[in-house]
Structure 1
Amino acid sequence: MRLFQAVGTTAAIAVLATGCASADDWSQPRAVAPTPIGALGAGFVPSAKPSPEATITPRPGSWDGVHPPKDYRVVLLTAGDDPQTKTLVTAVEEWAKQEDASLKTVKASGNYIARIGEALDLHPDLIVAAGNNLVDPLAMVTPNHLEQQFLVVGAELAEPTGNVTAADWTGASFRGEGLGASSTYNPSTFTPARAAAAIRAGVASVLSGWTGIVLWLS
């Protein structure tokens, strides 16, 4: 545990502030967890409470009524320059502008665990991960930081802890090297519409307290 708590002491390096200007300077962690504006619609979660690590299939659009509070702090943790990752990154950036979220970006390469540490050092409300190369490092780090919420878009962790939520779909379900995926990888499925749905559904789920699960988008 000490290893992961110690990494990332130079958080200011390679961190890019994006999105709209904000009076929120991120100087201190939140004293109170942010609450959502609005509520999930019918069909987002099944009638029976999903078990930890469960996969649920929310009704399309059932997340549209949920929005983050102003200046919701998000770190976009991204790895890779492939078209699929770029599509996910663009979706997160556009979502942040539309929702007036406070967004910072950490671009990861090489020592992924150190870059995750940089994201943690910023004390965001949510860390959004985009890029298959981050899945295995996240699986190592996230159980040691249960107080921090994570959202993985376009992939998932094989055994997520309660602070890790994922939003993916058929063709985008990478779970780590050497592990079977829920579906065959298909780069063509990484469309702007699916990526936009993933970030919106995922954030709505986290804000509403449905965490530690996989959202399977149709």
Structure 2
Amino acid sequence: MRPHLRALAAGLAATAATAVLATGCDSGDSWSRPHPAPTALGTLGRDFVAAPPAPEATVTPRPGSWNGVHPSKHYRVVLLTTGDDRPTKALVKAVQEWAGDEDADLRTVVADHPSDYIPSITRAMDLAPDLIVSAGNGLVDPLATVTANHLSQKFLVVGAELAEPTGNVTAVDWSGASFRGEGLGASSTYDPASFTAARCAAAIRAGVAAVLNDLTGIVIWLDEH
């Protein structure tokens, strides 16, 4: 090979090697790589819970008692959602804004049809996130079917709750929400207007704060907010 062609080939090889190295270091899609266990940064206020709650208990923390808790960097969260009603949209927006504020690594799985509810939960679990956040009443019954068989995966239901949650499922609810599934439907106090930006933001922050502090398998009831 002529000298100038040899030099060109060497240059191209070096460029290719650099490109491969850069691709190998790219963390844009790195959920399959080792990931430190998430931790809570900060502490809950004393008025969040008076004592460790019993399984399936309902607790009513003081508003804002969760504000001092944040997830460790790159907390991996899957937003599992269905429906385009106003309450669901408000919850989705709140989760997205929370993730941006907290530098959480958020991915979204959307179930477009009832036949896709359980497969969508499976897709979310296959990503092996630190937490799956569910928004949309249509997912409540499918979650009740699936979650009890996957106790190592943590779930947070915002704006609704499971009738009989296992220890890996936490819910954040209030009188204007309180959808429980299993044929119970929405309560008589259901009010779509109660899904305000402030309440939805409080729901995701209070719920994540509880999960990070291992206060799971309970319902967090948001009083006035």
**In structure 2, C-alpha distance between the alignment counterparts of 1:85 and 1:57, rounded to whole Å:** 23
Q: Are the equivalent residues in 1 in contact too, given 2:55–2:218 (CA < 8 A)?
A: yes
Deviation per residue, 1:30-56 (Å, 9 max, x gap): 4x5311101101110123x21100000
**Aligned length, in residue pairs:** 196
Residue of 138, 142, 146 corresponding to 1:141: 146
Is residue 81 of structure 2 the alignment partner of residue 87 of structure 1?
Answer: no
- TM-score calculated relative to the size of structure 1: 0.86
Q: Which has the higher helix share?
A: 2
1:143/1:177 CA distance change after superposition, 3 Å: closer
User: 1:27 matched to which residue of 2?
Assistant: 32
Q: Which residue of 2 aligns with 1:75?
A: 78
SS at structure 2 position matched to 1:202: helix
Instruction: Work out the CA distance in 1 between the residues paired with 2:164 and 2:196.
Output: 26
Take 1:99 and 1:121, find their aligned partners in 2: how far apart are those partners? 23
After the TM superposition, which parts of structure 1 deviate over 3 Å for at least 4 consecutive aligned residues?
21-24, 180-183
**What is the distance in 1 between the residues matched to 2:27 and 2:53?**
36
Greater RCO, CA 8 A, separation 6+? 1
Q: Which residue of 2 aligns with 1:12?
A: none
Contact 2:77 / 2:133 at 8 angstroms: preserved in 1? Answer: yes
The answer for unaligned runs of 5 or more in structure 1 is 1-20
Q: Check whether the contact 2:163–2:182 (CA below 8 A) recurs between aligned residues.
A: no
Task: Give the TM-score normalised by structure 2.
Answer: 0.83
> 2:213 aligned to 202, 208, 213, which one?
208
**Contact 1:22–1:71, Cα closer than 8 Å, also in 2:** no
Shift of 1:23: 5.4
> How big is each residue's C-alpha offset from its partner over 1:71-116, in whole Å with a ceiling of 9 and x where there is no partner?
0000000000001100000000000000000000001122200000
1:185, distance to aligned residue in structure 2 (A): 1.0
**Which protein shows a greater Rg?**
2
- Distance (Å, rounded) in 2 between the aligned partners of 1:102 and 1:73: 5
Of residues 20, 26, 41, the one that matches 1:37 is 41
Q: Which of the residues 176, 194, 199 maps onto 1:194? A: 199
Q: CA RMSD in A?
A: 1.7
**Aligned-pair CA distance for 1:180:** 6.2
* Identical pairs, percent: 70
Q: 1:168, 1:214 within 8 Å by CA — same for their partners in 2?
A: yes
SS across alignment from 1:205: helix
